[in-house]
Amino acid sequence: MKFILASDVTPERLEQFLEHNKQIELETLLKAGYVVERNDKIIGCFALEPIQDDAYWLKQLYVIRQEAVKLPIIVETVLAIAKQQQAKVIYAHSEQPVTDLLLESLCFSLQPSQEELVPAKNEKGHWWTYSISS
């Protein structure tokens, strides 16, 4: 698998991927995102948006259904990329029980709903954090 800055991918390839994945915001992806490529095919993407000096929000984590088994590897790579960017904490929001399970298995911590540190208020789902040690 390759992780490529979305801004380095040709517009045609991005459009082809997004054509079948309309829920992904192109602007966010281009500003702070990466695509995941396997066998010269884009299989997923994510955005790692800075929200404070040393805090990032993992947004738009998406992998095509046939490649879902690779999600743990992708999230671990996301954490490695965040560490290279000097991140101390990663926030993630989940609205799916399976995503909650994945984040918990990768040592993310569930945040209380009244937590003031989360990047945005959402009525649905859960906020998770991951602390990166130096």
Count of domains for the chain: 1
CATH at residue 79: 3.40.630.30
Contact status, residue 106 vs residue 78, Cβ threshold 8 Å = no
Q: What is the pLDDT along the chain (134 residues), one digit of tens a residue?
A: 999 999 999 999 999 999 988 889 999 999 999 999 999 999 999 999 999 889 999 999 999 999 989 999 999 999 999 999 999 999 999 988 888 999 999 999 998 765 555 666 666 888 999 999 86
- Report which secondary-structure segment, H or E, holds 12: helix 11-19
Global confidence as pTM:
0.86
d(CA 20, CA 2): 20
Q: Domain range holding 123?
A: 2-131
d(CA 56, CA 38): 25
